[in-house]
Structure 1
Amino acid sequence: MCVDCIRNEVDITEGIPKQVTIQFCRDCERYLQPPTHWIKAELESRELLTLCLKKLRGLNKVRLIDASFIWTEPHSKRVKVKLTVQKEVFAAAILQQIFEVEYIVSYQQCEDCTKVAAQNTWKATVQVRQKVPHKRTFLYLEQLILKHNAHRDTVNIKEAKDGLDFFYAQRGHAIKMCEFLGAVVPTRSKTSEQLISTDVHTSTSNYKFTYSVEIAPICKDDLICLPSKLARSLGNISQLVLCTRVGTSLQLIDANSLQGTDVTSQVYWRTPFTSLASAGDMCEYYVHDVELLGPTRGKYALADVQVARTSDFGRNDTVFFARSHLGNILNPGDHVLGYDLTRSNFNNTDFDRLNRNNMPDVILVKKTYPVRRKKNKSRSWKLRTLAKEEGEMLPRKQEQDKIEQDYELFLRDLEEDPEMRATVNLYKGNRLSLHARTHIRTCTHI
């Protein structure tokens, strides 16, 4: 028989289906690899071609020579593959044949997405809390989580009073989140477990784990009065210090002498202390004169500064003399924020024991810059936020205004502090990737 007659008489693709169904999860964009494994595969990728070939029954009876995709519309729910196979039909006669297989994409929700959509399916939760009157720390922590993609294993994120709740389907993911938080901010954590069910026949139990993570209630630019014993152990530093940065440790500096120190997380929780005043308690001053004194420490320089409250203009001529660590950036005519100790009343036993004669009237914290953006024109960059679920108690209008004010102050801190800005991801306009649009929403404050 000739080749054409053999092809008419024999079909080597008999037993190989020409139409097959594959399962696809729209939520996580994965394909089902039987029996229970879900894989990530792009259209016309090597992984998808491997999955399609494994779905064909009877392919092991022939010799596969070539396989390639035939282009189809991405939204057509069809994947076509062209196959070239060979098989020995008679003695010393090998027949080669080309045929097409059509794969129908059927939607099916995977087990992980089913657990996410269901209620009360989490196995572990991380409750992050910080007892401060503002949200600046969580705004910065949120950007660190997004930059390092530390939220990728979360089942749900929910807002709560003084913090956030992260829910996980596995206990190991919650432990990993606690380790990440301890690597970026000073924290301490407690663990508790709740018995859900138990099987007496197999001696297995089902637990839910809760990790309570507390962040140190100290923020950048806070005024702190250290306990006397702790101040002596830290190089005999002054008890009245400023917090310049919060990381794995608290960076403190004495504005009168430029003496600095780091308080590690272990040291802080062994001898905890609170801040006397935060950024919301600062007053704005006008700089009259600056006299450098010489000593410098990194980006700080010691100087004697003559300032006056901007709120006193036209009322009195009260002038304050302060020694500051901002001598290298302050000039006459600038505006600076600081703490007014003459009008403040702190409820702190360590502060009450200080000698008031040696206490300055003003402690300058940071230079302030005028907002030069045009009217109705926002910033050229934006930030992404986590897709959080609101708590049961919706914030009142006053609380919502306070949250928006804290967010605006956080954006200004990013503009004025290049070191802080280098640790977060900034995005131009609304150019968000598909993954970002799926898991992250653009903040509505901007």
Structure 2
Amino acid sequence: MQPNIEVGVLMAPEFSFTLEGPYRLRATGKIYKGPGKAVLKNDKWTLWINDIEIATSLPAELEPVNYQKCSFELKDVVIGINFHWERKENQRFKGMLRIIREEDHLTAVNCLPLEDYLVSVISSEMSATSSPQLLRAHAVISRSWLMAQKEKEQKLKEKGSYETTIERPGERIKWYDREDHLHFDVCADDHCQRYQGITRASTKEVESAIADTFGQVLVYNDTICDARFSKSCGGVSELFENVWEPVGHPYLTKVIDNDKLPEGYNLDLTGEAAAREWILNSPPAFCNTHDRQILSQVLNDYDQETSDFYRWRVVLTQEKIQELLKKKINLDLGEIVDLIPVERGVSGRLIRLKIVGTKGELTIGKELEIRKALSESHLYSSAFIIEKEQKNGELPTTFTLIGAGWGHGVGLCQIGAAVMGAKGYSYQDILFHYFRGARLEKRY
């Protein structure tokens, strides 16, 4: 039997919603429909429906009287949080609306069956009109990732603690994962998997992809794979332990995103010279494509605002880089003298970067912390080289970052997988290309 899933969708001191159809408040059994509002103010919480205050405690659970016919809409849901496409939109959902309190805000949690959740994820992470094999591959990895997270959550509860930061003299290493969420399974944004309810139009093809792979997951040594994915690996995928906690997963290894090795390159991209040559050029790869029809399968409307994902360039002035470091990671090193690569992963992504200033120096990592520190949102990836502009030994006036790929680069490369699907590869071929040594297994 398929499990249910709890998704944190909206977090705010107050939010508005509309119950489209009859919903039962579990605590009292009373039926409500229409517009509502949840408010946390001066440490007091109130629930309003049809402008009438409803007496109930938290968590408040509103369940549909008819799961198939009822839905609820949440107003002003923030999507792409802290990314360059961040914006608000109204979103509709099937299933239960649970309202909980987390510190100084309320959280709207959507509870529904896992397979229905996947229909939305596949339509939110990419176009619902993607190729059938790409849709099936993504259905399997999204299901695998989610079930692996639920198993991991149980282990973390048993362990009782989880560290995501390592600080020692001159170094701050931090990583980000779904362990930030304590009161639901996953969030609805890119931090976990994009989930936008039934807002994104689904298709019969998406529903068929979910049905045809129903209950299928990737496994390695009988354990469900923590199947990760990103937009574009930039030509080579990265190791799990170089992005998140220091745990190796053999199925999340270095993968050249091609059916053959590109000629003329030293593919040991942990070395600075090899990484520089790789990033400054545009080697052939599945994800090295400008085919708009293929890209539209993976990139939703706001994603298509990005065109330079395979190779990109960002210029930061001396003033801007100081401002970003203070604003994004609370770091004041004075004027910035140098950015020095300390350690690169197998894809050329920076794992540790030394920032040298007139007031001191600090090495930061892992990849997302580096991406956050040097951008108003996030750099596309941490696979970049640094070029400085300075005169006669003076302080650099600009730092140019020339980079590769979009995202952390671990696991499946969505654009690469889209190209593979267009080339006629099966969803099994796609999965086994990116997840080496894994196999498919039906778990329910």
| Structure (1/2) with the larger strand percentage | 1
Higher relative contact order (CA 8 A, sep 6+): 2
**Normalised TM-score (structure 1):** 0.22
**Structure showing greater Rg:** 1
**Normalised TM-score (structure 2):** 0.22
